[in-house]
Chain A
Amino acid sequence: MSKKILINGREYEFEENLTLIQALELTDIEVPRFCYHDKLSIAGNCRMCLVEVKGAPKPVASCHFSLSDLRPGPNGELPEVLTNTDQVHNARKGAMEFLLVNHPLDCPICDQGGECDLQDQALHYGINKSRYKENKRAVDNKNIGPLVKTTMTRCIHCTRCVRFTSEVAGTEELGAIHRGENMEITTYLEKGMSSELQGNIIDLCPVGALTSKPYEYHARPWELRKTESIDVMDGIGSNIRIDSKGSEVMRIMPRYNEEINEEWISDKTRFIWDGLKTQRIDTPYIRENGKLIAVSWDRALTLLTKLIKKTDPGRIGAIAGDMVSAEEMFLMKKLMEKIGSNKYDCRQDGSILGNQYGRSSYIFNPTIAGIENADAIVIIGSNPRMESPVLNARIRKRWLTGNLNIYVVGQEHDLTYDYTFIGDSPKSINLKNIPLNGSKNIIWLLGDDVFLRDDGMDILSQVIDCAEKTGAIRDDWNGVAVLHKYASRVAGLDLDFLPQDEKHTAQKMASSSEIELLFLLDADEIDAKNKHTVYIGSHGDRGATNADIVLPGACYTEKNGLYMNTEGRLQETNRAVFPPGDARDNWKIIVEISKRVKKSLNYTNFEDVRAGLRKEYPIFTNINHIESDTFQCLDQLSDQKQKLNGDAFSNTITDYYLTNSIARSSKVMGECSMQKNSIEIKNG
């Protein structure tokens, strides 16, 4: 139902189920606030959002006053709300004065300075002098882990952090103990926090009570250059803002995107940045007498050219890693074709998921935002909490609103919501076991680990079959959802960066002696044996240590690139800083190699590359667009069925914090991993 009200004398009409603050937001009237946050439950404890309602005896808190509670005047006049009167201003000033009674006012040494809600709002509602002679209270700082630094004296008890951890993150760890003047925010007996989303409480805290520990005293917000980009730590491509100063990335913040990450990012996304500066390869290396020695670009490339020329083209292979952009894979593929080899693969984990059954068979069809329309979710062989904490929070968000049945086939983990465990092997995937009656929008969520099994495609076929039988594949709903944990996988499949022959999958190429020269494009999760390897990438991790030639490349904060997330949504990264030392953009390296081997790829600048990619693969044209598709050759797929074996599902992520080369280089991620392991050891 809609309702007419007067705001500051002007008439508006709103839906009745809004709160006053939401209505005021729609009219672009700014309401100061500390505790209210539109993604959290309403607490109403800071009193900063006071407005005047005609007829009410005192100012009301607009964040928890519902429009439906507004009453018309005695003669049927429209209800009237005022936000700019003296009464409102004084009331807010009063609230602010109380908030500041115990606040230390230590802005000069506070990391929040410059982006602090309290600071900003004190500009309008603060008074320039304290009327209190009493001592301020002081609160001990809490040690709640390696990520969040606490300065609890600054806390104004808005409880946003408490609500976030219990509602969104689903790990009830923070709480407010004691009461009144002695109230303190803490974890139980100051235990470290365990959530993979805890970094978000730093953004939520309206004051400087919770700040980033790794970023402590690094920079002031106004000194930072802000670059909008996307994250490559997992498959969903969270939208981020990279804040850099000079040539260094200082921190990573979330960017609002309702479709993907709302306003949350995972801790790996947020705190990875120290890994961007350590273990970097900043100059080419070649292996001489068993040791890697630093050389010039020219020398490294000359050696490489010799190697390529001397090797039979059919014995050259390439493997793309999990964080490379579409352009890079496109060029790598072109290079390989020019050299005369068709042996390349983008699935270093050994996945057997190809693209022969259409795009729908390898993307997250229902979309991330679509989770909110689901009424049943069957999770198969996946641990979404580790594989994509933000997507997992979406499932939890939907679960909290009720009427959602969740079933798990695979390993049992604490997923932050309740589910019914069906079984641990693919044999349990059948409609007799899973009570889906009455559910309309069913999501069949498949982890990409499923495709590490020999019967991976049979499982897919079985799932598509079940989905069809339960009406989960319709014109307006496609419930088959593959959750990828790697940022570049979907683009790789779209680009057909796949071997022509089963004999040349990434893992087979790495181990067989048929391949003599192997390019590792940022591929670190694979061990190549008995061959020459050329590593093009950013970090001195597994790939580089074993390589014969190392060519220093750029990582995701240092390049422009297109990525497809697990939904098949096209997004792009933007360069925030330049690669260190002699490192170059990966696309330039590949083009340079092509010139040296006289198979020149005709691209002079990055725009050319992108245009070339788009010409051949138009799917990479519309940013933020999901090219929907259908399944193809499904009959072939269903022939495969019924070979499901009884082995239990396993999940490959054993340590959430150390899943890729950047994370392994990060000290902060190392600390998190250590803390997590020590908690697990304690709990047995």
Chain B
Amino acid sequence: MTENKKNNNNFSFTKENLLLAERELKKYPKGREGSAIISILWIAQRQNKGWLSSDIIDYIAKFLDLPQIRVMEIATFYTMFNLNPVGAHHFQICGTTPCMLSGSEKLKSLLYEEIGEQSSVSKDNLSWVEVECLGACCNAPVIQINDDYYEDLAVTDLKNIIDDLRNKKEIKPGSYKDRLSSAPDNKNIQILTEDEIEEIAKNRTKPGLEAKNA
């Protein structure tokens, strides 16, 4: 599947990243530093514009005193690690059931049209890949672009996002429905008065709150 390309320059951690990495190492007992591998790979991936080249794998294997294949196993197991170059904006679109039911398939075909094949970098430096559940199913469909989640996306929203990115405009993370995080839609929100809350508490039969029929 993914084959690991070589980077031309020889990789080594920058000063700040080296400090970060050493801090991670300290979390584990002596002789078990290998356990820090995920954080270390992550730091390296961020330093290298979002992907891990084979010289990074070599570097980290030496850094953690692990065989290269053990590092490779971890790097290929998690989809958060990319073994091929990615664009400046890397879209990770969730294709798992809740997102699929809420329309991620359509988003996917848009990404396909706009950016191209999965895991390839477009001319305007965008790339995308389908991933499993991003853990934000209540805001399905969800796309992660670099570090942020973009939720409740309609096809037009995604189109706008892509256009904005191309025009170097800021894009807004979070929900694209009229709501706060995963709270109900703003128009459906009902704010209880103090009295109403008391009333509910009084009529409570079982432990826990049970809303009365409005």
Contact = CB atoms under 8 A, between A and B. Distances in A.
Contacts of A176: 73
Contact of B4 (A166, A172, A187, A189): A189
Of B4, B54, B70, B73, most A-chain CB atoms within 10 Å: B73
Given A178-B1, A189-B4, A173 B76 contact: no
Contacts of A177: 69, 72-73, 76-77
A175 B68 CA distance: 10
Interface in A58-108: none
Given A178-B76, A179-B77, A172 B69 contact: yes
A437 to B, nearest CB: 23
Contacts of A189: 4, 54, 68, 72
A172 B4 CA distance: 19
A174 interface: yes
Interface in A155-193: 166, 172-179, 182, 184, 186-189
B183 to A, nearest CB: 35
Interface in B46-99: 54, 57, 67-70, 72-73, 76-77
B72 A188 contact: yes
A179 to B, nearest CB: 5
A524 B163 CA distance: 78
A175 B77 contact: no
A188 B68 contact: yes
A182 B69 CA distance: 16
A175 B1 contact: no
Contact of A178 (B67, B69, B70, B77): B77
B1 A172 contact: no
B163 to A, nearest CB: 34
Contacts of A174: 69
A172 B76 contact: no
Given A178-B76, A179-B76, A179-B77, A187 B69 contact: yes
B38 to A, nearest CB: 14
Interface in B118-147: none
Contacts of B67: 166, 172-173, 175, 188
Contacts, number: 37
A173 B67 CA distance: 7
Contact of A173 (B1, B54, B57, B69): B69
A135 B163 CA distance: 38
A186 B77 CA distance: 14
A186 B72 CA distance: 10
Contacts of B77: 177-179
A93 B80 CA distance: 36
Interface string A178-215: 11001010111100000000000000000000000000
Interface string B27-57: 0000000000000000000000000001001
A606 to B, nearest CB: 50
A174 B68 CA distance: 10
A189 B61 CA distance: 14
A182 B73 CA distance: 12
Nearest to B76: A177
A532 to B, nearest CB: 55
B54 A175 contact: no
Contacts of A173: 67, 69
Contact of A175 (B2, B4, B70): B70
Contacts of B70: 172, 175
A175 B71 CA distance: 10
A447 B135 CA distance: 60
Nearest to A171: B67
A188 B69 contact: yes
Nearest to B68: A188
B117 to A, nearest CB: 17
Nearest to A173: B69
A189 B72 CA distance: 9
A177 B2 CA distance: 10
B115 to A, nearest CB: 22
Nearest to B71: A188
A679 to B, nearest CB: 14
A186 B4 CA distance: 13
A166 B66 CA distance: 12
B10 to A, nearest CB: 16
A174 B67 CA distance: 10
Contacts of A188: 57, 67-69, 72
Interface in A578-593: none
Contacts of A178: 1-2, 76-77
Given A172-B69, A173-B67, A177-B72, A182 B54 contact: no
A179 B54 CA distance: 19
Nearest to B79: A179
Interface string B96-108: 0000000000000
Contacts of B68: 188-189
A25 B72 CA distance: 37
B67 to A, nearest CB: 4
Contacts of A182: 1
B71 to A, nearest CB: 8
A177 B54 CA distance: 14
Nearest to B132: A180
Contacts of B4: 189
Interface string A653-680: 0000000000000000000000000000
Of A166, A177, A182, most B-chain CB atoms within 10 Å: A177
A452 to B, nearest CB: 35
A257 B135 CA distance: 53
A436 to B, nearest CB: 24
Nearest to B67: A172
B91 to A, nearest CB: 21
Contacts of B73: 175-177
A182 B67 CA distance: 22
B40 to A, nearest CB: 17
A192 to B, nearest CB: 13
Contacts of A175: 67, 69-70, 72-73
Contacts of B69: 172-175, 177, 186-188
B11 to A, nearest CB: 16
Contacts of A172: 67, 69-70
Contacts of A184: 1
B57 to A, nearest CB: 8
Of B4, B54, B67, most A-chain CB atoms within 10 Å: B67
B49 to A, nearest CB: 21
Nearest 6 A-B pairs (CB), nearest first?
A: A172-B67, A175-B69, A177-B76, A188-B68, A188-B69, A175-B73
Given A188-B57, A188-B69, A189-B4, 18 more contacts: A172-B69, A173-B67, A175-B73, A176-B73, A177-B69, A177-B72, A177-B73, A178-B1, A178-B2, A178-B77, A179-B76, A179-B77, A182-B1, A184-B1, A187-B69, A188-B68, A189-B54, A189-B72
Interface of B: 1-2, 4, 54, 57, 67-70, 72-73, 76-77
24 contacts: A166-B67, A172-B69, A172-B70, A173-B69, A175-B70, A175-B72, A175-B73, A177-B69, A177-B72, A177-B73, A177-B77, A178-B1, A178-B2, A178-B77, A179-B76, A179-B77, A184-B1, A186-B69, A187-B69, A188-B57, A188-B67, A188-B68, A189-B54, A189-B72
